[in-house]
Amino acid sequence: MMLSCLSSENMMRRKKVAITGGNAAQPGDMTLIWKDGNKRVFRTGLSGGKLLQALGAIAPDDFTVEDESMEEYFWDLYGLEDAQ
């Protein structure tokens, strides 16, 4: 059922990770959604130790992690991300 994918539990697991610098590695559990020069933004469902492990493979100079907003979740859900 479509409503099951809209649960707050499912959405809260999704994170946006912005990375500056590091190497070109892209862990399999992280989806590249934006790139500009040495800055990349990924979407991922990883958290805690698994997220830190993935970031360790990239060895970034700096990074930020934030929960994906409801608006971003719906843009992605309906395949409208490029229309923003």
- CATH number, domain containing residue 64: 3.30.70
Handedness of CA 3, 64, 61, 19 (dihedral sign): positive
Whether 48 maps to a domain, the answer reads yes
Average pLDDT on 45-52 reads 92
Whether 53 maps to a domain, the answer reads yes
Average pLDDT on 44-54 reads 92
Provide the whole-model pTM: 0.73
Domain count, the chain: 1
Report DSSP state, residue 10: H
Whether 6 maps to a domain, the answer reads no
Question: What pLDDT does 76 receive?
Answer: 73
Q: Sorting pLDDT into bands at 50, 70 and 90, what band is 70?
A: confident
Question: What pLDDT does 23 receive?
Answer: 95
66 touches 16 (CB < 8 A): yes
Show the domain range for 46: 12-83
Q: What is the pLDDT of residues 3-48, one digit of tens each?
A: 444 444 544 578 999 999 999 998 989 999 999 999 999 999 998 8
Q: How far is CA 37 from CA 18, 33, 46, in A?
A: 13, 14, 24
